[in-house]
Amino acid sequence: MKEFDFTKPDIDFTKYLIDLSEPLKEIPPMFSIGGSPVFSRGEISMITGKAKSRKSFLITLLASRMLDEDLNLKILLIDTEQNKIRVAKSAKRIHKLLEWDEDKNNDRLKVCAMRELTAQERLEITLSLIEKLKPDFIFIDGCRDLIIDFNSLSESSDLIQKLMSYSTRYNCHICSVLHENPMSDKTRGHLGTEFVNKIETALRVVANGNVSTVSGSYTKNKSFDDFHFCVNESGLPEYCEPEEKPKNNDRLKSLFNELLPTTCCLSYSDLRERVIQKTEKAKQTAERYIKDAVNDGIIIKNAAGLYYSFLNNESNATKDEILPF
């Protein structure tokens, strides 16, 4: 390997030196979640998730919100996976959310479909678009398609180096979408591993039925709370509350019906010991079972501190009325 010659007069290395005498200037975030910076200029980030977790819908939601919050912002959206019709539909969703004319282009949003191109062609056009359009923010939906082998350490490193260089040179932010491995939450190949080492933020999308949950799996900045979105009847993503999973407490009901038959009351320690003997679980687990059963109204603690089964009481009275002792 050829050694780097620092003595060459045409190499100005001083611009890479840190001058602590200069005042530090905080870089204002381009986008924040709950007051926590997520995307900043001169940085790269990624969105991860398994197939069908609605990663592309998240891009639609984020892009529309950023364009709405900053009227001077320009976004470039590159899709390497879907055909032109699907990509056009995604662009129209952003227009709908912003109440823009769906049938007219807007200079603040440029969308490009590259499915039919080779990996080298996709990368060359992506870099050329950044150079010529100079967008503030770039989404690359399908970043692994910019290289041939996402398990190649050299290809992965070269791609990420180019993205970091362009984000710095053009003072923009580049957010790439990567798929997770089917059997784990890790991003695929060396490309995913290299991204984790370089990014400012990693957003992870997990589909839970009709709702997708977005979490900050990694961030250089302050962490933020998860948020949730769904796709409404109009086919547009919107923020929502998480879906509540129905509790399956049949086992708890069966357990405490057997341990606390009608007219039987037990102290906490006696009940805990019975749970341990019956389930062969540890003390801590038995205590959790008791706590969950109380919270679910399966058993009741009376004024004397004794526990009995509400379900086994044949009276039609309410919980407040059935308080022995």
Closest CA to 147 of 191, 179, 180: 191
Using CA atoms, how far apart are residues 160 and 182, in angstroms rounded to an integer? 23
| Phi (first) and psi of residue 100, to 5 degrees | -90, 160
Using CA atoms, how far apart are residues 214 and 57, in angstroms rounded to an integer? 12
Tokens of 242: 């998480």
Using CA atoms, how far apart are residues 212 and 86, in angstroms rounded to an integer? 20
Using CA atoms, how far apart are residues 272 and 290, in angstroms rounded to an integer? 7
Using CA atoms, how far apart are residues 231 and 157, in angstroms rounded to an integer? 36
Closest CA to 63 of 139, 171, 132: 139
Helix ranges (DSSP H) in the chain: 55-69, 84-98, 119-133, 153-169, 189-198, 250-259, 268-279, 283-295
Amino acid at 172: C
Query: Tell me, what's the pLDDT at 218?
Result: 85
Domain assignments of the chain as residue spans, ordered by start = 23-240, 250-309
For the whole model, what pTM was predicted? 0.72
Query: Tell me, what's the pLDDT at 6?
Result: 58
**How many residues are listed for the chain in this entry?**
325
Q: Name the class of domain 23-240.
A: alpha beta
Query: Tell me, what's the pLDDT at 316?
Result: 37
Query: Tell me, what's the pLDDT at 12?
Result: 79
212's CB contacts (< 8 A; 6+ apart) are 53, 54, 57, 58, 205, 206, 228, 229, 230
Query: Tell me, what's the pLDDT at 3?
Result: 61
pLDDT tens profile 108-166: 999 999 999 999 999 999 999 999 999 999 999 999 999 999 999 999 999 999 999 99
* Cβ contact 198:209 at 8 Å: no
Q: Name the class of domain 250-309.
A: mainly alpha
Using 70 as the pLDDT threshold, list the residues of the chain that sit under it.
1-9, 244-248, 310-325
The strand ranges marked E within 180-250 are 201-208, 211-219, 227-231, 237-240
